[in-house]
Amino acid sequence: MDNGNLEKIYKENFMLIYKFLICLTHNAEIAEDLTQETFYKAILHIDDFKGNCKLSVWLCEIAKNLWFNELKKNKKINFIDVNSIEIYTQHDFEEKLLNKEDIQMLYKKITKLDENIQKIFYMKLYGNMTFKEIGDVIGKSEIWTRVNFYRAKQKIKEMKNDE
């Protein structure tokens, strides 16, 4: 692959990968470092990309694996510091649900949802990603992502009402 194509891939996917890593790490500096490392690894292993998924999905998988390796290396794989998480919301529902007192309860409810739905929640609420960006990452359409986010919100509301 020539440098022009690599540069195009970088420009088209940099912000998506960076936002995805912000969602995972909750740290801009770490996300920036891992974004650079993601593209470095992608360049080294571009021949391994078979085209079975979108390039952005493949890059997100690399990024996710780098983050998990970082957590394992620092022995923090099961650690989430609830007080350090900044939450970006756009709707009243999220604002009501996601104050620091309710965050642990929300995590418990989210873990009861399907894995793809969990990813949507994390990327939307903590990564402030658009539904289109989220859909690109998980290999689904923007509409599928939006509808499932809405359905998941309804399920969480029902869980909250059942308490």
Give the closest residue to 15 by CA, choosing from 53, 68, 60, 48. 60
- pTM check: above 0.85: no
Higher pLDDT, 120 or 4: 120
Backbone angles phi, psi at 27, to 5 degrees: -150, 115
CA 97 to chain centroid: 19
Confidence tier at 132 by pLDDT (50, 70, 90)? confident
Report all structural domains of the chain as residue ranges with CATH numbers, in order of start.
3-73 (1.10.1740.10), 87-162 (1.10.10.10)
Model pLDDT, residue 75: 63
Confidence tier at 83 by pLDDT (50, 70, 90)? very low
